[in-house]
A = this chain, B = another copy of it.
Amino acid sequence: MASASLQEAVSVLKSTNVRMTPQRHAILEFLHSSMSHPTADDIYKSLEERFPNMSVATVYNNLRVFKDAGIVKELTYGDSSSRFDCITSDHYHVICNDCGKIVDFHYPGLDEVETLAEHVTGFEIEDHRLEIYGTCPACTKMSKQ
């Protein structure tokens, strides 16, 4: 399920008769290289040079394909546009309320939460999502000046 490398992601796709196109490869590549959890538009803009004719629809289409294949995750915060992230390992995000900066945060799984939720609610739990909000060091410094 977790696809650590770009190659893994590609082979996951191959196994579900999804063709590997240059655009798809570029989007995946960008997602893997980027540490910044980009929006669809970020991706579109950053590939504009290499693919002058690429449509925004292609970005959205493929992000959905990747999501369905389980190699990419969609993150919805308050700020209107979704952000996308390769699924690599179990980590959470710490988000700055001021500047929006996102920092990865590793934390031993919250499996017990899922187990408990299953017992209490009767749901079949599949996943969970945890985010932590605060002020990043830079913004804290700024506000104290």
Contact = CB atoms under 8 A, between A and B. Distances in A.
A137 B94 CA distance: 32
B129 A117 contact: no
Contacts of A117: 94, 105, 107, 132, 134
A123 B118 CA distance: 32
A78 interface: yes
Interface string A71-106: 000101110001000000000001011000001010
Given A103-B121, A113-B107, A117-B94, A133 B126 contact: yes
A14 B128 CA distance: 37
A131 B128 CA distance: 6
A136 interface: yes
B126 A116 contact: no
B78 A77 contact: no
Q: Top 10 nearest A-B pairs by Cβ distance?
A: A125-B134, A123-B134, A127-B133, A122-B137, A128-B132, A76-B76, A124-B135, A130-B130, A129-B131, A117-B132
